[in-house]
Amino acid sequence: MKLLEERIQKDGRVLNEDVLKVDSFLNHQIDPELMQAMGQEFARLFANEKIDKVLTVETSGIAPAVFAGLALHVPVVFARKNKSLTLPDNVWTADVYSFTKQTTNHIMIDKRFLTAGENVLIIDDFLANGQAVDGLLTIAQDADLNVVGAGIVIEKTFQKGRQLLDERGIHVESLARIKAFVNGQVEFL
């Protein structure tokens, strides 16, 4: 997606050979117009699929996911990372290891919001090692959902997430695919 690649070139900050910060438009400050365009692009990329619901994980997946849901005319469910005192016990859960934070999060979705046989599209902001998407796939499998694909905002193709999803037969569409960070610059595939 040209608009996104241009924005990454303009406003992304390469911190080292692994880490790209996009907190000025995606995951701390958010550009709503860009999010809307991304949501429409996800809807176009998965136009041939029957989709009943969009799944994502808090926090950074929410903005792209709600615009994908809007463009697809379906509800969005985001997995929560921490157990709130008022969240019911009746939840699907999975463990997600964060390489960035070096911690394992429990993600969970209330069973009331997932129905066996539903066709779901997973949306997330980054695909790096694939842990967050993998956690959602675990929940989808446990809840007997049909995963029609995964829509990713930024894929780091040099990490193992894409291969992991390809091996599991998941249809992945990424709006920007990064080959490498070279001398502080982003090189797209």
Which residues would be at the binding site for a second copy (CB under 8 A)? 15, 19, 21, 23-25, 28-33, 35-36, 58-59, 62-63, 66-67, 69-70, 73, 75-78, 80, 84-86, 100-102, 109-110, 112-113
Q: How far is the CB of 9 from a second copy (least distance, A)?
A: 18
132 is in an annotated binding site: yes
Read off φ and ψ for residue 123, nearest 5 degrees: -120, 135
3-state secondary structure of 66: helix
Report the first-to-last Cα separation within the chain, whole angstroms: 12
**Smallest distance from a second copy to CB 103, Å:** 9
Helix (H, G, I), strand (E, B) or coil at 44: helix
User: Using an 8 Å Cβ cutoff, are 103 and 77 in contact?
Assistant: no
When the beta carbons of 110 and 142 are compared against a second copy, the nearer one is 110
Rounded (5°) CA angle 16-17-18: 90
CB of residue 169 to a second copy, shortest distance in Å: 27
Q: Cβ closer to a second copy: 66 or 178? A: 66
For a second copy, the closer of residues 15 and 182 by Cβ is 15
Nearer to a second copy, 75 or 184 (CB): 75
C-beta closer to a second copy: residue 79 or 165? 79
Shortest distance (Å) from residue 27 CB to a second copy? 9
What burial class does residue 153 get, using C-beta atoms within 10 Å of its C-beta: 0-12 exposed, 13-18 middle, 19+ buried? buried
Q: Which amino acid is at 77?
A: V
3 labeled part of a ligand binding site: no
Q: Would the annotation count 27 as a binding residue?
A: yes
Q: Please list, in sequence order, all residues whose beta carbon lies within 8 angstroms of the beta carbon of residue 149, skipping any fewer than 6 positions away.
A: 46, 49, 121, 122, 170, 171, 172, 173
Annotated binding site for xanthine: 20, 27, 156
Annotated binding site for 5-phospho-alpha-D-ribose 1-diphosphate: 128-132
Annotated binding site: 20, 27, 128-132, 156
